[in-house]
Amino acid sequence: NAGVTQTPKFRILKIGQSMTLQCTQDMNHNYMYWYRQDPGMGLKLIYYSVGAGITDKGEVPNGYNVSRSTTEDFPLRLELAAPSQTSVYFCASSRGSTGGSYNEQFFGPGTRLTVL
Amino acid sequence: AQSVAQPEDQVNVAEGNPLTVKCTYSVSGNPYLFWYVQYPNRGLQFLLKYITGDNLVKGSYGFEAEFNKSQTSFHLKKPSALVSDSALYFCAVTAGNNRKLIWGLGTSLAVNP
């Protein structure tokens, strides 16, 4: 079991460029999440998905897009990168539960993104 | 609105001493509470959770946490700290049918040899 994998590990973008952060999990989890982590700010939820074909916005969705065509993959798309998107991005997954999120989340190793 | 607070940005403790990392929460309904640990340049790892039942929850690496409903707290504890416990610790909460966790800002634990 590889768990949750993310690529790339590091990336530098120029302002206005676009990129896709990849996330794959091999645990057959229904729920998947994208977070960003800024120093001293904890984790902020960008988007989440409760199953293939279903996505929803989190706290900070502006400037990002997601898709969930399969159970395993949950890519995050950055369009028109801005310096404010400089952050560490984490993907996570968890088993779905009927009503609520009481199953623990498994995290990937993160992608460190710098926008210059 | 749901919220979680970790009142200490940093906790320092000597190796071998007991440690406590504090967490308080505010939710409507019965809470689901979690602790995660993040080592430098790594993703978060699950430590333990409280869903229902016994108020004292035991988790990975010798950590435990006590759910206190009257004080709306879920403090993380360990009887004897190790230098290798030095990391960033996050408390998180959700409740009811909410599919999202609310995260604390994290507490940096430094265990000094």
Domain ranges of chain B: 3-112
Whether A41 sits inside 8 A of B105 (CB atoms) is yes
Instruction: State the smallest CA–CA distance between residue A12 and chain B in angstroms.
Output: 17
**Is the separation of the CB atoms in B65 and B57 below 8 Å?**
yes
Pick the CATH number of B3-112 from 3.20.20.100, 2.60.40.10, 3.10.105.10, 2.30.30.60: 2.60.40.10
Q: Any bridge partners for residue A25, and if so which?
A: A4
Q: How far apart are CA A19 and CA A41, in angstroms?
A: 24
Q: Which two tokens stand for residue B67?
A: 């759910």
Whether B32 sits inside 8 A of A109 (CB atoms) is no
Angle at B58 between CA B54 and CA B59, to 5 degrees: 140
Q: Tell me what pLDDT residue A39 has.
A: 82
Q: What residue has token string 């310096």?
A: A83
Which of A102, A111, A112 is the best residue to mutate to test the B interface, defined by the most B CB atoms within 10 Å of its own CB? A102
Q: What's the average model confidence in pLDDT over A23-29?
A: 96
Give me the percent of chain B exceeding a pLDDT of 90: 80
Q: Give SS3 for B104.
A: coil
Of the candidates B36, B96, B100, the beta carbon closest to that of A48 is on: B100
Of the candidates A41, A50, A110, the beta carbon closest to that of B99 is on: A50
Q: Indicate the DSSP class of residue A84.
A: G
B11 vs B42: which has the higher pLDDT: B11
> Which tens digit of pLDDT belongs to each residue from B60-71?
999 999 999 999
Q: What's the average model confidence in pLDDT over B19-30?
A: 94
Domain edges within chain A: 4-97
Show residues of chain A in contact with B97, CB under 8 Å: 99-100
> Which tens digit of pLDDT belongs to each residue from A54-86?
999 999 999 999 999 999 999 999 989 999 999
Q: Any bridge partners for residue B25, and if so which?
A: B4
Pick the CATH number of A4-97 from 2.60.40.10, 3.30.2010.10, 3.10.129.10, 2.60.40.1190: 2.60.40.10
